[in-house]
Amino acid sequence: MVRGVSMAKAIRVVLLCVSVLWVVPKECACTRNYSRDSSSSLPTLSQRPSSVNVGALFTYDSFIGKAAKPAFKAAMDDVNADQTVLKGVKLNIVFQDSNCSGFIGTMGALQLMETKVVAAIGPQSSGIAHMIAYVANELHVPLLSFGATDPTLSSLQYPYFLRTTQNDYFQMHAIADFVSYSGWRQVIAIFVDDECGRNGVSVLGDVLAKKRSRISYKAAITPGADATFIKDLLVSVNLMASRVFVVHVNPDSGLHVFRVAKSLGMMGSGYVWIATDWLPTAMDSMDPVDSNTMDLLQGVVAFRHYTNDSTAKTQFMARWKNLTPNVGFNSYAMYAYDSVWLVARALDVFFRENNKITFSKDPNLHKTNGSTVQLSALSVFNGGEKFMKIILGMNHTGVTGPIQFDSDRNRVNPAYEILNLEGTGPRRVGYWSNHSGLSVVPPEILNSNPPNTSTANQHLYGIIWPGEVTKSPRGWVFPNNGKPLRIGVPNRVSYTDYVSKDKNPPGVRGYCIDVFEAAIELLPYPVPRTYILYGDGKRNPSYDNLVNEVVADNFDVAVGDITIVTNRTRYVDFTQPFIESGLVVVAPVKEAKSSPWSFLKPFTIEMWAVTGAFFLFVGAMVWILEHRFNQEFRGPPRRQLITIFWFSFSTMFFSHRENTVSSLGRLVLIIWLFVVLIINSSYTASLTSILTVRQLTSRIEGIDTLVASNELIGVQDGTFARNYLVNELNIAPSRIKFLKDEEQYLSALQLGPKDGGVAAIVDELPYIEVLLTNSNCKFRTVGQEFTRTGWGFVCNYTLKQLTCLYIIFAVYLQLSDTRILNPILQAFQRDSPLAVDMSTAILQLSEEGELEKIHRKWLNYKHECSMQISNSEDSQLSLKSFWGLFLICGITCFMALTVFFWRVFWQYQRLQPENADEERAGEVSEPSRSGRGLRAPSFKELIKVVDKKEAEIKEMLKQKSNKKLKATESAAGSSHSQRENP
| pLDDT for 847 beyond 90 | no
Q: What pLDDT is recorded for position 348?
A: 93
Q: What pLDDT is recorded for position 662?
A: 78
State the Cα–Cα distance between residues 849 and 851, nearest whole angstrom: 6
Q: What pLDDT is recorded for position 813?
A: 32
State the Cα–Cα distance between residues 131 and 511, nearest whole angstrom: 65
Q: What are phi and psi of 587, to 5 degrees?
A: -140, 155
- Which of 108-122, 151-165, 572-586, 819-833 has the highest average model confidence (pLDDT)? 151-165
Task: From 813, 717, 814, 817, select the one nearest 761 (Cα to Cα).
Answer: 717
Q: What are phi and psi of 58, to 5 degrees?
A: -165, 175
| pLDDT for 366 beyond 80 | no
DSSP 29-55: TS-------GGGSPPPPPSS-SEEEEE
How much of the chain, in percent, has pLDDT values that exceed 70? Answer: 76
Q: E strand or H helix at 509, and its extent?
A: strand 508-509
Q: pLDDT of 416-425, one tens digit each?
A: 999 999 988 8
Confidence of residue 376 (pLDDT cuts 50, 70, 90): low
Q: E strand or H helix at 209, and its extent?
A: helix 195-210
Three-class DSSP labels, 939-951 = HHHHHHHHHCCHH
Q: E strand or H helix at 705, and its extent?
A: helix 703-708
Q: pLDDT of 236-279, one tens digit each?
A: 999 888 899 999 999 888 899 999 999 999 999 999 999 999 99
- Which of 41-45, 205-209, 650-654 has the highest average model confidence (pLDDT)? 205-209
Q: What pLDDT is recorded for position 710?
A: 86
Q: pTM score, two decimals?
A: 0.65
Q: pLDDT of 19-67, one tens digit each?
A: 444 333 333 333 333 333 333 333 333 467 899 999 999 999 888 999 9
State the Cα–Cα distance between residues 58 and 941, nearest whole angstrom: 119
- Which of 70-84, 375-389, 815-829 has the highest average model confidence (pLDDT)? 70-84
Are the C-beta atoms of residues 43 and 357 closer than 8 Å to each other? no
140: left (phi over 0), alpha (psi -120 to 50) or beta: left
For the chain, the C-alpha Rg in angstroms (whole number) is: 48
Are the C-beta atoms of residues 825 and 813 closer than 8 Å to each other? no
Each as own residue / partner, the long-range contacts of residues 2-11 (CB below 8 Å, 24 or more positions apart, any chain) are 2/97, 2/104, 2/107, 2/108, 2/111, 3/97, 5/111
Q: What pLDDT is recorded for position 781?
A: 80
Rounded mean pLDDT, 612-629: 80
| pLDDT for 916 beyond 60 | no
State the Cα–Cα distance between residues 952 and 235, nearest whole angstrom: 117
Exposed/middle/buried for 586, CB within 10 Å: 0-12, 13-18, 19+? buried
Are the C-beta atoms of residues 22 and 135 closer than 8 Å to each other? no
Are the C-beta atoms of residues 201 and 248 closer than 8 Å to each other? yes
Are the C-beta atoms of residues 172 and 203 closer than 8 Å to each other? yes
User: Furthest-apart CA pair in the chain: how many Å?
Assistant: 164
Q: What is the DSSP letter of 451?
A: P
Q: How many helices (H) and strands (E) does the chain have?
A: 33, 34
Rounded mean pLDDT, 837-858: 81
List, in sequence order, every residue forming a beta bridge with 814; answer none if it has no partner. Answer: 565, 819
Residue 595, classed as helix, strand or coil, is: coil
Q: State the architecture of 168-308+414-457 in CATH terms.
A: 3-Layer(aba) Sandwich (3.40)
How much of the chain, in percent, has pLDDT values that exceed 90? Answer: 31
Q: State the architecture of 485-578+794-813+830-859 in CATH terms.
A: 3-Layer(aba) Sandwich (3.40)
Q: What pLDDT is recorded for position 924?
A: 42
Q: State the architecture of 51-166+311-403 in CATH terms.
A: 3-Layer(aba) Sandwich (3.40)
Mean per-residue pLDDT over the chain, rounded: 79
Q: What are phi and psi of 150, to 5 degrees?
A: -60, 125
State the Cα–Cα distance between residues 25 and 289, nearest whole angstrom: 46
Question: Which residues does 159 contact at the CB level (< 8 Å), separation at least 6?
Answer: 137, 388
State the Cα–Cα distance between residues 886 and 903, nearest whole angstrom: 26
Among 3.30.420.10, 3.40.50.450, 3.40.190.10, 1.20.1630.10, name the CATH number for the domain at 696-791.
3.40.190.10
What end-to-end distance do the CA atoms of the chain give, in Å? 158
Q: Which of 760-793 are b and which e, b meaning 16 or more Cβ less than 10 Å from the residue's Cβ?
A: bbbbbbbbbbbbbbbbeeebbbbbebbbbbbbbb
